[in-house]
Structure 1
Amino acid sequence: MGSSQNKEEIMADECCAGGSNRMIVWCAGASNVGQMTHQLAVELAGEGQGRLFCLAGIAAHRSGFVRSAKDAEDMLVLDGCPVACAAKILEHVEAPVMNHFVVTEMGVEKAFGEELKREDIDQVKASIRAALAANENPGQ
């Protein structure tokens, strides 16, 4: 079992390697806003706002993933709706929920079967970037 633990820790480290120290986790739910969180996470990571991390590994209670989440210096948590699955998963493993954003609270209505709108993605992403910048530079 020791070798399995080592592999898991290596996978958690590799999953969260490189770039910013901010970990990005998101709920990629079935609705438009759930799918938007995935798109936002990928684009924000590509812009250097953080690095993608496996929420499923945390939810599965994989020790390396849970440890990485608990030890995160900074985190961006994206949920599509107020059900807040990503935040709840982190709370369940007693990891801190930092920089939590809910897409439906940012002006996008939850729906099923709708295609994502580029203007909605851009508007939400701009709001997230502005909030993150304000958190990094309080008082400016």
Structure 2
Amino acid sequence: MNYKPIVYSCSGCSSAAQMANYLAIQLDRSGYAEMSCIVGVGGNVKKLVHTAKSGRKLIAIDGCPLACSRACLQNHNLSPDLYIQLTEYGVRKKQGVDYDPLEADQILEQLQTQLTESSLINEQSKNTFTFQNN
């Protein structure tokens, strides 16, 4: 059984949205969470909705106050156990430019610390970490 929380992210066209996607990918690759597809949840893809409703802890990362990933979960009566909106971390939403990779890595470090210290990660999932320095 997989004990890792599931992470979903916005992946829209703004710099903040792409940072949200980057953060979710990094949480997946470093073993803190397992990334799944929020578009599949929003599009009612049966297998992906089943994964979201599996009882595992849920993390949602949105780039801006539109909160698209959280809205997709709420459409299935699901609420993330941890919700991150990057504007609350001072991230500015910009069109036509990339996000700042240094800013993204600073936020990633904060999220990893928050997850390590939280109840979202239980002993079974802690044993599956493959910590990486980014």
With normalisation by structure 2, the TM-score equals: 0.81
Aligned to 1:83: 66
Report Cα offsets for 1:40-90 as digits up to 9, x if no partner: 111111111111101111111122211211223112211001111000100
Counterparts of 1:46-125 in structure 2 under 5 Å?
46-125=29-108
Task: Judge conservation of contact 2:4–2:32 (CA < 8 Å) in 1.
Answer: no
1:19 Cα shift?
Answer: 6.3
Task: Judge conservation of contact 1:25–1:77 (CA < 8 Å) in 2.
Answer: yes
Task: Judge conservation of contact 1:77–1:97 (CA < 8 Å) in 2.
Answer: yes
Aligned to 1:135: 118
- Cα RMSD of the aligned pairs, angstroms, is 1.8
Residues of 2 paired with 1:128 and 1:72: CA distance? 22
Q: Secondary structure at the match of 2:53?
A: helix
Q: Could you tell me which runs of 5 or more consecutive residues in structure 2 were left unpaired when the two chains were aligned.
A: 121-134
Q: Which has the higher contact order (CA 8 A, sep 6+)?
A: 2
Please tell me whether Structure 1 or Structure 2 has the larger radius of gyration of its CA atoms: 1
| Count of residue correspondences | 120
Task: Judge conservation of contact 1:32–1:112 (CA < 8 Å) in 2.
Answer: yes
Task: Judge conservation of contact 1:20–1:49 (CA < 8 Å) in 2.
Answer: no
- Compare the two structures and name the one with the higher helix fraction: 1
Residues of 2 paired with 1:113 and 1:20: CA distance? 38
The alignment status of 1:30 with 2:16, answered yes or no, reads: no
Superposition misfits of 4+ residues, deviation over 4 angstroms: none
Aligned to 2:123: none
